[in-house]
Structure 1
Amino acid sequence: MEFNRRRRLFAGSKVRDLRRRLAIPQASMAKQLGVSVSYLSQIENEERPLTPPVLIALTRQFPEQWGEIGQDHSIADLARAIEAGTDASIGGDALDEAAVQRGVEKHPALTRRLVALHDAWRRSQAQLRVLDDRVESGAPRGGSLPWEAVRDWFQAEGNYVDAVDRAAEALATILDQPRAIEHRLREKHGIVIEDARDDDHRLTRFDAESSRLAVSGVLPPDSRSFLLAQRLAVLEFGDEIRGVSEQSGLGSTAARELLSLGLANYAAGALLMPYARFREAAREVRHDIDRLRQRFGASFEQACHRLSTLQRPGAQGIPFFFCRVDMAGNITKRHSATRLEFARFGGACPLWIVHEAVAIPDRILSQLAETPDGARYVLMAKGLVKPSASYARPPRRYAVALGCEEAHASDFVYADGLHTGGVATPIGTSCRICPRTDCDQRAFPPAASELRIDPDVRLPVPYTF
C-alpha cells in the first residue's frame, strides 16, 4: 500500500476525540505531533488527511490510546517498522523514515522480519534487565522478593488503581473542611487520637481493642495528615483494598499484606489530592509541585508521587516517571509511565541529577537527559530531609525525582530553565547493561562484553569494549 498516492486517509474526528478525552490543549498536541496548530485544526476538521509522519507521531505519543484505524493494519506496520529502523539504542546508522516507508510498500515480508527481529531484541534487553536486577538484589531463584513483587504489580497497573482511587475521590467530596479527616475518625469510627510518648519512635500505633491511635508528635502537619488519611482509608475502603489484594495474583502472604499497605497509602494520597481536582490544578500551575503541595496540604514527595498516578483511562495526566533515591544510591521508590526504565536495586547511572540532589537538600535541580534508545526527558530533583525525634537517631536524607518526555516540556515548569532541543546529558539505566562506549563515569563494563585493554593508552576507564 502506498499511503500518499493510492489513498488519502481522513480520520480527524478520531484525533479530535482523542485530544478531548485526554483534555490536551490543541497547541500541546500539535507540538507533540510536530505540526502547527492550524495544521492540526485542519486535520480535526477533515480538511487534511492523516499522513504517515502524523500517524507515526500519534502511535509514538499515544501508544495505548491510539488504536488502528478501521482494518488498515499497514498503518501499525509502518509505525513499528520505523521504530525498529530508527532505534537509537542499536549501533550503526539509523534508517531514513522514507526508506522504511518504501520498504513497507515494496518489501512487506522483509520489513515484517525487521520488526520481528527488533521485537526479539527488545525482549532480550528486558530479560537482561531482569538478570541485572537479580544480580544486584540477590533475589532467590525462581521467585521475587515480596517488596519487589509489589512494586512490579503497581508498575503493571500503571500506578493507577481505579477502584481505590474513585472511592477516595467520592469520600473527598464530603471531607472538604480543615481537619475533616480527623473529625470523621473521631465521630464516625470512634477513634481516640493522641500524641505518642516522646520515647516512642513509631510514627503511628493503633490499638484496635481500645480504638486508640497514637501519632508521633514530631511529625510535620503534612505527614500527620497523610497518616490520619491512611488510617481512615483502612477503615473506609477496606473492602476495596481486600478485593484488589485478593485478585492481584501475588503468590505469598507477605506480598499481599505489603500490597494492602501500599493500597492504603495510595488511598491516603488520593483522599488528600482527589483525582479530578488535583489533575486540573496540576495543569493550571504547569505541575509546580510547591504550589500543588500548598494548595492540597501535602508534602513535596506526596505531591510528586500523586502526579505519577494520574493515568485514569480517558482522563490521563502527563506520563511522568517518579523515583526516590537514598544517600547510598538505592532507589527506594520508583514508577515510570514513560519509556524510562529504572535500575531497581541500586547501581543507577551516576549522571542522573537525582544523585547530586541528595547531597544538596531543599534545592531544586533540573536536567535534560537522553537515554540510549534516543528518548529525551526533562526532570527535576530535590533533596529532602526528614528530621528524627532524637539526636541518637540520624535524620533520613534522600532525594525525589520527577520527569517526563521532552515533548511535554511546555507543560512542565521545571523545564523553563533548560535549553530543550539542545545537548542532553547521556544517562543510562545501569552500567551492567548500558551500551554507551564513551562514558567517563562508567563503574564497570556491560555484562558479557569483550574487553579491549591497551597498556599504552590511558583512558578515564582502563578498557574499551
Structure 2
Amino acid sequence: MSRLEPERKRLVLNDALPLSTQCFALARHLAFLAHSDKIDALTAGAAFRGPDAAEVCAAALANYFAGALLMPYGPFQEEARRVRHDVERLATSFNVSMEQVCHRLSTLQRPGHEGVPIYFLRVDRAGNITKRHSATRFQFARYGGACPIWNIHEAFEAADRFLVQAAEMPDGVRYLSIARAISKGEARFDALRLHYAIGFGCELAYASDFVYSDAIDLRNPSPLVKIGVSCRLCDRADCHQRAMPPIDRRISVDPNRRGIIPYQVE
C-alpha cells in the first residue's frame, strides 16, 4: 500500500489503489513524521505490559490522526448533521471511503461538542470482527463471530445496498443498525480483492438523525429483531439461529421432542 524510504526522502504509494486509500496512507505517514513525539508520549504513558501493545496503539493513533486530517472535526460533524449521516454523500464530499466515514463518525465525542453516539465495526466473510469502535452501549463479541441474525451478515448477499434493521439487545436497548458490503483492492485484473461488511448505527432514540431511519417506522419498528452479543453470551432460550449453548446456562435434551435446535436451554 505504501512505503516510506527515509534515506531517500521518498514516500511510495501504490497508484493502483483508490485515491481515498492513498490519501489515508499519506496522512498516516505524516502522523509519524510530524507528531512522533506526541505518539511516543501517549504510548509511554499508557504503561502497556509489552512493546507489541505499544506499537499497535501507536498505529491506531496514527490512523486516528489520518481520519481527523481528512475529515476535520467541525466541518465533518456539521456536514454529517446536515445530510443526516448519509455515508455515501459524506464520502463524496470529503473524498474518502464509506468505511473511513463510518469509523470517523464513531469518534465524534469531543467533550462539549459531541456528535450522535455511533458504533462501527467491520466483519469478514467468516464472521470475524476485524475492526470495531463504539461510542454507544452496544456490546461486541470479543472472540468468535457476532450474532448470526444481525443484518451485517446478510449484507454479503445484498451487494451495493444498505440494509436497515431495528434490533434489540438482551439488555433491552434498541438500535438502528445499518449494514453494507464493501470490497477493497487494487484496480487491476489479477488483483486480490478483499470482501467485508461494515456495520454502524445508533440507539433508536437518535435514529431520526439518520437518513436510513426513513426505511422504518420509528413509532412502531417492525420487525424488531432480537439479537445478542454472541451465542455463548446470549441467554435467549428461543433463538432459532443458536449455534451453541450459553456458557452460564444448563441444557436438557428430551428424546421425545426435537425442536429447531437439539436441546432446550434451562
TM-score bracket, normalised by the shorter chain, equals: over 0.9
Matched, 1:438 2:238: yes
Specify which structure has the bigger relative contact order, considering alpha-carbon pairs within 8 angstroms and separated by 6 or more residues: 2
In 2, the alpha carbon distance for the partners of 1:288 and 1:221 equals 21
Aligned to 1:262: 60
Letter of the 2:212 partner, please give it.
Answer: Y
| Within-5 A mapping of 1:403-422 | 403-420=201-218, 421-422=220-221
In 2, the alpha carbon distance for the partners of 1:361 and 1:388 equals 19
Please point out which of 63, 75, 99 is paired with 1:277: 75
| SS of aligned partner of 1:270 | helix
Once the two structures are TM-superposed, the CA of residue 331 in structure 1 deviates from its matched residue by 0.2
| Within-5 A mapping of 1:4-83 | none
Structure 2 unaligned blocks of 5 or more: none
Letter of the 1:394 partner, please give it.
Answer: L
Once the two structures are TM-superposed, the CA of residue 390 in structure 1 deviates from its matched residue by 6.1
Deviation per CA, 1:414-441, whole angstroms, max 9, x where unpaired?
1110122333100000101101011000
Distance 1:390 1:291, change over 3 A: closer
Matched, 1:456 2:256: yes
Letter of the 1:276 partner, please give it.
Answer: G
User: Conserved in 2, the CA contact under 8 Å of 1:326 and 1:358?
Assistant: no
Q: TM-score, normalised by structure 1?
A: 0.55
Letter of the 2:249 partner, please give it.
Answer: S
Larger Rg: 1
Identify, as 1 or 2, the structure richer in strand. 2
Aligned to 1:380: 178
In 1, the alpha carbon distance for the partners of 2:231 and 2:189 equals 38
Aligned to 2:147: 349
Distance 1:307 1:328, change over 3 A: same
Once the two structures are TM-superposed, the CA of residue 458 in structure 1 deviates from its matched residue by 1.8
In 2, the alpha carbon distance for the partners of 1:422 and 1:388 equals 40
| SS of aligned partner of 2:155 | helix
In 1, the alpha carbon distance for the partners of 2:70 and 2:146 equals 32
Deviation per CA, 1:341-387, whole angstroms, max 9, x where unpaired?
10022221001100111333321111100001110000111100113
In 2, the alpha carbon distance for the partners of 1:303 and 1:407 equals 22
User: Conserved in 1, the CA contact under 8 Å of 2:18 and 2:186?
Assistant: no
| SS of aligned partner of 1:235 | helix
Name whichever of 327-336 and 239-248 sits farther off: 239-248
In 2, the alpha carbon distance for the partners of 1:268 and 1:400 equals 19
Deviation per CA, 1:196-255, whole angstroms, max 9, x where unpaired?
xxxxxxx01111111111111211111111111111222122222112111122211111
Once the two structures are TM-superposed, the CA of residue 389 in structure 1 deviates from its matched residue by 6.0
Letter of the 2:113 partner, please give it.
Answer: A
Matched, 1:336 2:150: no
Letter of the 2:130 partner, please give it.
Answer: T
Once the two structures are TM-superposed, the CA of residue 464 in structure 1 deviates from its matched residue by 0.7
User: Conserved in 2, the CA contact under 8 Å of 1:367 and 1:379?
Assistant: yes
Deviation per CA, 1:303-346, whole angstroms, max 9, x where unpaired?
00000000101110000010000011000011121111100222
Name whichever of 353-362 and 210-219 sits farther off: 353-362
Q: Number of aligned pairs?
A: 263
User: Conserved in 1, the CA contact under 8 Å of 2:177 and 2:200?
Assistant: yes
The percentage of counterpart residues that share the same residue type is 49
Name whichever of 229-238 and 396-405 sits farther off: 229-238
| Within-5 A mapping of 1:278-293 | 278-293=76-91
Q: TM-score, normalised by structure 2?
A: 0.95
Aligned to 1:124: none
Letter of the 1:450 partner, please give it.
Answer: R
Aligned to 1:428: 228
Once the two structures are TM-superposed, the CA of residue 275 in structure 1 deviates from its matched residue by 0.6
Name whichever of 347-356 and 232-241 sits farther off: 232-241
Aligned to 1:212: 10
In 2, the alpha carbon distance for the partners of 1:256 and 1:387 equals 28
Once the two structures are TM-superposed, the CA of residue 394 in structure 1 deviates from its matched residue by 3.1
Deviation per CA, 1:112-155, whole angstroms, max 9, x where unpaired?
xxxxxxxxxxxxxxxxxxxxxxxxxxxxxxxxxxxxxxxxxxxx
Distance 1:393 1:290, change over 3 A: closer
Name whichever of 261-270 and 414-423 sits farther off: 414-423
Identify, as 1 or 2, the structure richer in helix. 1
Aligned to 1:166: none
Matched, 1:237 2:35: yes
| SS of aligned partner of 1:334 | strand
Distance 1:415 1:259, change over 3 A: same
